[in-house]
Amino acid sequence: MLNTLLGTKVRMSQAFIEGTRIPVTKVAVGPCVVTHIKTKDTDGYWAVQLGYGEKKIKNITKPLKGHLKGAIDKEKSAPRFIKEVKTDEKPEFKKGDLIKITDVFKKGDVVSVTGVSKGKGFAGVVKRWSFAGGPKTHGQSDRWRAPGSIGQGTTPGRVRKGKKMPGRMGGDTIYVKNLIVADVDSQKGELAVSGPVPGIPGGLLVVKKLASGKLEELVQEAPEVQVQIEEKEEASGGEKTDEKGGKDHGGVA
């Protein structure tokens, strides 16, 4: 059973579940066309290659046209994105089949979303790795956001690989799991997924169903507040005690 579809990020919005406001992200998912089937006999594993989006056929190469033969019409557009999805058993699809959003997802499903994060350009270590920076006193003037020492002396005598240093930030593949489908719009082909997802609007997302859940998991019960009112008790003999435990003698000191 296929549990993954391709989509694009639309925008962030909100949904109300049992009177609770939940931030959601609208994701346009499917329909995806099956462009290729891989089997254990020929490829060593089972997989379905999905195509999503639209692209002019004149803008694709001839080898890709031959690969997509039988999956698309020559006069229509070709898929913009093509991704392979592995399956645990032999796929029941054939080349050219369309898989809709309602064939995989429903309300309450627990999903994971994979996308490419926004590129932020060249960044220093304070922004990129959350370094604290140098001291701002004792004659310090121009090293507030510097990385500091990046290596040792004689041993090893070089900068080790993987050292956190300034560089290009963003543009990484981000995997976010345990998101809940708050709504499924079959007419628009959109999912409302709880929380934010990586990438820019229009960026490719891979949405995978992990398990079936309930919408009630998005609603957190508010803690009950118990208000206790302490009443002043009258002491024996008609004398009242104040808050500090002293006797009240009618206001005369």
Please tell me the distance from the alpha carbon of residue 24 to that of residue 191, in angstroms, as a whole number: 9
- 189-226 pLDDT, tens per residue? 899 999 999 999 999 999 999 988 777 777 765 455 56
- 57-112 pLDDT, tens per residue? 888 889 998 888 888 877 778 899 999 999 888 888 888 888 899 888 888 889 99
Say yes or no to pLDDT of 153 above 60. yes
Q: What is the mean pLDDT of residues 169-188?
A: 92
Banded model confidence at residue 245, pLDDT cuts 50, 70, 90: low
Say yes or no to pLDDT of 35 above 50. yes
For the chain, what is the mean pLDDT?
A: 85
Predicted TM-score (pTM) of the model is 0.77
Say yes or no to pLDDT of 253 above 50. no
- 102-145 pLDDT, tens per residue? 888 888 889 999 999 999 999 999 999 999 988 888 888 888 89
Angle at 79 between CA 77 and CA 80, to 5 degrees: 110
